[in-house]
Amino acid sequence: MILSNDRIRSLLLDESMPLDRRLVISPILNWDTQLKPGGSSIDVRLGQRFRVPRRTKIDRLDHLSDFYMENVEQYKDVYHVLVGDYFVLHPRQFVLGNTLEWIHLPETLAAYVIGRSSWGRDGLVIATATGVHPRYSGVLTLEITNLGEIPVRLYPGLTIAQLFIHTVVGHAGGKAIPSFSGSTNPENADAAGDEKLIIKRIAKDRGFEHLD
């Protein structure tokens, strides 16, 4: 069930709820425009950090490689763009950004991040990995690509995406912490995770020699 804006507002202002079970989106700089009456999503703003790929000698990103995270660190630069300044996203350029807001979801809520249509009409794709799990606490990493024909200026502080918040029916998996929780900046993550060893084992059994 998607929460209405009235419900989101009342949850955000509910002091009686213990902090662990509280919905927090901080800061909300303009309640009226970010939580429009009658709507069912809250607008979130573009944060101040961007991770930008750069050309290096690294020839690939391989999630099965033991050096995946090191490689990612080496091929990305981090830019800090202050509110008031801007970042230029060129056609077909891909960067990681983040929301200005810190999102803290209790175990009863999950969320989806969707780009705002006004940016979409400029050719901007805001987020592709859009699910936010219960008990997540951190900024949201946004995958931003300019699919348009002309460069677009990105101003931190502008509303860039919207968060649809859902209730979670049933028990949300004990006390497990979502793997990206605690994010303070846009970041990559090792997608293979625990499956890395299994797939490597299968590859070895089948005689594939493409792994590091």
* Residues annotated catalytic, as ranges: 143
Q: Virtual CA dihedral for 82, 87, 93, 94, nearest 10 degrees? A: 20
Q: Is 15 in the site for another protein (CB under 8 A)?
A: yes
Task: For 68, list phi and psi in degrees, rounded to 5.
Answer: -55, -50
Q: 93 vs 185, which CB is nearer to another protein?
A: 185
Residue in this structure with the two tokens 């606490």, named with its chain if needed: 137
Residue 80 in the binding site for another protein (CB under 8 A)? yes
| Interacting positions 37-66 with another protein (CB under 8 A) | 48
Near another protein in 181-210, by CB under 8 A: 181-182, 184-185
Selected from 97, 115, 178, 186, the binder of another protein by CB under 8 A is 178
Tell the smallest beta-carbon distance from residue 137 to another protein (Å): 4
Residue 198's identity, in one-letter code, is I
Q: What length is written for the chain?
A: 212
Interface with another protein, residue 152, by CB under 8 A: no
In the region spanning residues 108 to 147, those forming contacts with another protein, defined by CB under 8 A, are 135, 137, 139
Let me know: does 34 contact 28? Beta carbons within 8 Å. Answer: yes
The angle at the Cα of 204, spanning 210 to 189, to the nearest 5 degrees, equals 65
* Of 75, 102, 112, 155, the one binding another protein by CB under 8 A: 102
Q: Taking the complex as a whole, how short is the minimal distance between the CB of residue 207 and another protein, in angstroms?
A: 31
Report d(CA 156, CA 153) in Å as an integer: 10
